Structure 1
Amino acid sequence: MSSAITYSPAPVAARVDGVPVAAVTLDETIGRILEMSTTPTTDVLVGVNAHVINLARHDARLRAFLETTTFNYADGQSVVWAARSLGVTLPERVATTDLGPALIDAAAGMNAPVYFLGGAPGISTAAAARMRERTPGASIRSAHGYFGEAGSDEVLSDIRAHGTRILFVGLGDPLQENWIQQHRDALPPVVLTCGGLFDWLSGAHRRAPKMMQQGGLEWLWRLAIEPRRLARRYLVGNPAFVAAVVRQRATLRTAGARRQIA
């Protein structure tokens, strides 16, 4: 990836059930983040999947937040397929589990400190240690996600002391988005929501086989790992997402037919 590339803001390519999604590749996303990390402002990126879109349908606060981000990328293959069914081609799925390690490699190359915030006690610390071992020279500090509102000031102070340029926030949806919105003015140049990323980076969970990833079945692997926690998200949420996209597609077709008649 050339450091000479200058990236303009990623435009909205699709709206999946009302949620804006940009058409970006993994390499392009990393390039944009590195550029943003050198600025004095705060850019926020959200990886959207079927679960986030389902939540936004009923959560006005989350829906409004997703309109204020720098851009949202397709973290779930379901979002890529949904966009395609609506007539928009997204170049690829940008899985946060792929983005995390690749971004840490790139950040280490330009001495940009990274912060892991979230997860159960010990998980983000283990993830940071594993990433430092994988990428010598990476500057990563961490804090677990069980700090409560009273602990936010201490966390923000630690982020500032570290000189963080790229912050991963893994508090789960929509808590992580709400926390970012509440403290946006005090956050570093780049902030990414990352859900349960630290479980994967720490090695607490093993990634699905490549065949399942490529086939859009990684959700099934996650369901097998955590059936009690994720059963409702996937077994109820996936059909709800498909139904919402079908409704949107029908609405677009009806609107198109009306324009033709007019």
Structure 2
Amino acid sequence: MKGDDDASVVVAGVRVGSFTRDSFVDRVLTMARGDSTRVAVGVNAHVCNLARTDARLREALSTSTTYADGQSVVWAARLLGGHLPERLATTDIAEPILRAAAAEGLPVYFLGAAEGVAERAAELLRDRIPGLRLRTHHGYISEGDVSLVLDEIAAHGTRILFVGMGDPAQQYWVENHRDRLPAAVLTCGGLFDWLSGSNRRAPAWMITSGLEWLWRLMIEPRRLARRYIVGNPAFIAAVLRQRRHETPRRTPSGVL
């Protein structure tokens, strides 16, 4: 499966698909109509950093549809001579996907976050999106309850599953249970916290300036300090090394 312009860009060792918002929503709907399970993963600097030392995550990314979830990835692609049309923050593209799913009558399931968070997000979304068929379950699932949750996802007739457990745990979980998952799976990190209002989104000027990471650091400094203060320079260094050692080019998509 390929992106809009039949191209992707390798950024710090991770292949990132080239999508606009509309083309990505179309891709997810195409996945949801299919017969086999396909996975979509948003790529940001943190995911690239993790993938450098995590072979299991690299393998999961290589068999997934990937898209630019972080502005740093879009900027890095340009520096490397490639082109990613825009940043597709999962927080921004979730509602367009849900609206398209509701229009086609495709059931959706939210799995992740603390108890009650995904359901609060779902209540808000059901009010805004007529016909949305959406069920939820928190992400703190004991090993003994996994099968029951998978049965519930199947019983709902789920075609699009959002899994929010953080990177790389969510990719591991998906790969472990892939044979029982619906057609379209999107790993989504802390999406439900943002959609539910548990976390407040950054001001528009910070988002458009590529500074949303700084807002997140300010509201969760203990949890995110290492990811951004150490991780951002590490990502920049990896991109600069790549630029130094490779001929800048765009590469054909693999499994996207």
Could you state the TM-score of these two structures normalised by the residue count of structure 2?
Answer: 0.94
Match of 2:223 among 222, 229, 247: 229
Aligned residue in 2 for 1:85: 79
Larger radius of gyration: 1
Aligned match of 2:43: 48
Q: Is 2:2–2:17's contact at 8 Å kept on the other side of the alignment? A: no
Supply the AA of the counterpart residue of 1:9: K
Instruction: Look up the match of 1:259.
Output: none
1:81-138 Cα distance to aligned partner (Å, 9 max, x none): 0111100011111110011111111111111111000001111111111111111211
2:58 matches 1:63: yes
Distance 1:236 1:13 in 2: 27
5 Å-filtered alignment, 1:107-146, equals 107-146=101-140
Q: In 2, distance between residues paired with 1:110 and 1:171?
A: 27
Tell me what 1:220 maps to. 214
* 3-state SS of paired residue (1:72): strand
2:179 aligned residue (176, 182, 185): 185
TM-score norm. by structure 1 comes to 0.91
Question: Which residue number in structure 2 is paired with residue 106 of structure 1?
Answer: 100
Q: How far apart are residue 76 of structure 1 and its match? A: 0.2
Stretches of structure 2 that go unaligned for 5 or more consecutive residues are 249-256
Superposed CA offset, 1:183-224 (max 9, x none): 111110100000000001001111111111111000011111
From 22, 41, 47, the equivalent of 2:17 is 22
CA distance in 2, matches of 1:198, 1:87: 34
Structure showing greater relative contact order (alpha-carbon pairs closer than 8 Å, 6 or more residues apart): 2
Contact 1:12 1:20 in 2 (8 A): no
* 3-state SS in 2 of match to 1:56: helix
SS at structure 1 position matched to 2:35: coil
| Shift, 1:72, TM fit | 0.3
Residue matched to 1:257 = none
Q: Does the CA-based 8 Å contact 1:12-1:21 persist in structure 2? A: no
Provide the rounded CA distance (Å) in 2 between the counterparts of 1:198 and 1:12.
31
Aligned-pair distance for 1:180?
A: 0.5
Alignment coverage as a number of residue pairs? 247
Deviation, structure 1 residue 163: 0.4
- Aligned equivalent of 2:239: 245
Q: How far apart, in 1, do the equivalents of 2:154 and 2:177 lie?
A: 13
Deviation at residue 41 of structure 1 after TM alignment = 1.0
Q: Work out the CA distance in 1 between the residues paired with 2:242 and 2:147.
A: 42
Distance (Å, rounded) in 1 between the aligned partners of 2:247 and 2:128: 49
Residue of structure 1 in register with 2:204 after alignment: 210
Note if 1:9 corresponds to 2:23.
no
Unaligned runs of 5+ in 1: 1-7, 255-262
Residue 253 of structure 2: aligned partner: none
The residue type paired with residue 13 of structure 1 is S
Alignment check: 8 A CA contact 2:113 2:165 kept: yes
2:78 and 2:150 map into 1 onto residues whose CA distance is: 40
Give identity over the alignment, percent. Answer: 59
Report the 3-state secondary structure (helix = DSSP H, G, I; strand = E; otherwise coil) of the residue aligned with 2:246. helix
